[in-house]
Amino acid sequence: MKAHTKETQATMTPAKALNFLQEGNQRFQNNLKANRNLLEQVNDTSEGQFPFATILSCIDSRVSAELVFDQGLGDIFSIRIAGNFSNEDILGSMEFACKLAATKLIVVLGHTSCGAIKGACDHARLGNLTALINKIEPAVEAVKEPTDESLRNSKNLDFVDKVSEKNVLLTIENIRKNSSVLAEMEDKGEIKIVGAMYDISNGEVTFY
């Protein structure tokens, strides 16, 4: 499989980009990776890149977007931060990726059993991690069940995963709210912003 070119990127739509990622995840789950020559792709992309999607995911070592979506060099912009939330710098990166580099899709990718989410559920405090956790805690508060405080912590993995999902949805809301550039592009149908969850137990990505 060749690297994307300006011509192939120009034919991409938000729906097609989403389909490319869904097909890639199916290949990943079935251990049927596309046939790529990565060194050839290094050469093909040496004078330019034409990715079709931008993916905001967690730093978790098990959740590499290029791997779980079976993509090669030059295919996607990958933004990674613990807890996959957005801030000013990440929004700027997304605006570059979509407005200037012409990607057609933004995916906010959470995952099950997320350590950053567990930290937020436990209201962890540690150095600079405290500020990061504070940005995720609104998702904890937004999940109303269970009401029993003894069940609202990292030991309750069902609760953790519900908070992970809520965090993805709140991040999408924040992207639309805090980036007029991306909101306008989505309104015009130039891009699509979607959420997804990666299951660390089986490799499956579920899109919302």
Binding residues for Zn(2+): 58, 60, 111, 114
Give the whole-angstrom CA distance, residue 88 versus residue 50: 24
Cite the annotated binding site by residue number.
58, 60, 111, 114
Helix (H, G, I), strand (E, B) or coil at 108: strand
Q: 206 is written with which tokens?
A: 């579920």
Give the whole-angstrom CA distance, residue 141 versus residue 169: 13
31: left (phi over 0), alpha (psi -120 to 50) or beta: left
Q: Which residues contact 201 (CB under 8 A, 6 or more apart)?
A: 112
Q: Is the dihedral of CA 74, 25, 156, 139 positive or negative?
A: positive
Position 191, amino acid: I
Q: Which of 48, 69, 52, 43 is nearest to 10 (CA)?
A: 52
DSSP string covering 49-69: ---SEEEEE---TT--HHHHT
Q: Name residue, tokens 């660390």.
A: 200
